Structure formats: C-alpha cells, structure tokens
C-alpha cells in the first residue's frame, strides 16, 4: 500500500489591491498625539515655574527695599544719641535749656 501524502493546508490568498488601512499614516498620527500629550504634561509645571520665578524676583526687590529702610532707621537711631541732635529736637518742640529764661511773645505786631 502506497502512502498518500498528507493534504496540504490551504494558505489564505493574498489580498489583491493592498490594505485599506495605511499603517504609516496611523503611526504618524499616533506619534503626533503622544507628542502633544507629553508637551501638555509639561505645560502646567512650566507655568508654575514662571510664576515662582517672577514672585521670587518681586520678593527680592521688596527685601532690598526693606533692608535700605532698616539701614536708614538704624542710622537715625544712632544719630539720635548725639547731644546736638537731641538739643535741636528739643528746641523744635519749644523746650528751653537749663538756666535759660523762657520768653513768650503774645499778640500781633500790627495792632
């Protein structure tokens, strides 16, 4: 008895006319969508960094302004201990030195 060869399995026939799906275009579109998603994910942290940077710059300017004001006030305190400054301020308030006679001028000159 002669052996018969096993029946061959049929392969599906190749499509004629090519695929209707253009995979290269699908790949490009998917890559573009992923790129925009990544860029969008960087958007909010970038905006927060910019806000923080500008806020820090404003805070530094305010700090330098307050340091200058502190220096001026400190100099004023140091100079207020000078006896000449104390005497000038007292006379501006109408005080008289010890041993001086206070004089009050009352009335007007015209009349």
pLDDT in tens, 20-55: 888 889 999 999 999 999 999 999 999 999 999 999
**Residue 80 pLDDT level (bands cut at 50, 70, 90):** confident
Q: Is 64 exposed, middle or buried (0-12, 13-18, 19+ CB in 10 A)?
A: exposed
- For residues 20 and 92, what is the distance between their CA atoms, to the nearest angstrom? 99
**Residue 17 pLDDT level (bands cut at 50, 70, 90):** low
Inter-residue contact 51 to 59 (CB < 8 Å): no
Give me the residue spans of the domains in the chain: 49-94
List the Cα angle 105/101/108 in 5-degree steps. 5
Q: Which residue shows structure tokens 């061959």?
A: 8
Q: Is this structure's pTM higher than 0.75?
A: no
CB contact set of 107 (below 8 Å; sequence gap of 6+): none
């Amino acid at each position: 008895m002669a052996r018969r060869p096993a029946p061959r399995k049929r392969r599906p026939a190749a499509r004629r006319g090519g695929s209707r799906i253009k995979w290269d275009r699908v790949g490009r579109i998917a890559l573009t969508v992923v790129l925009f998603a990544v860029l969008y994910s960087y958007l909010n942290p970038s905006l927060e960094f910019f806000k923080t940077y500008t806020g820090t710059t404003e805070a530094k300017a305010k700090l330098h302004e307050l340091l200058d004001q502190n220096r001026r006030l400190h100099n004023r305190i140091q100079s207020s201990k000078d006896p000449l400054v104390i005497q000038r301020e007292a006379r501006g308030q109408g005080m008289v030195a010890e041993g001086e006679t206070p004089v009050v001028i009352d009335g007007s000159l015209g009349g």
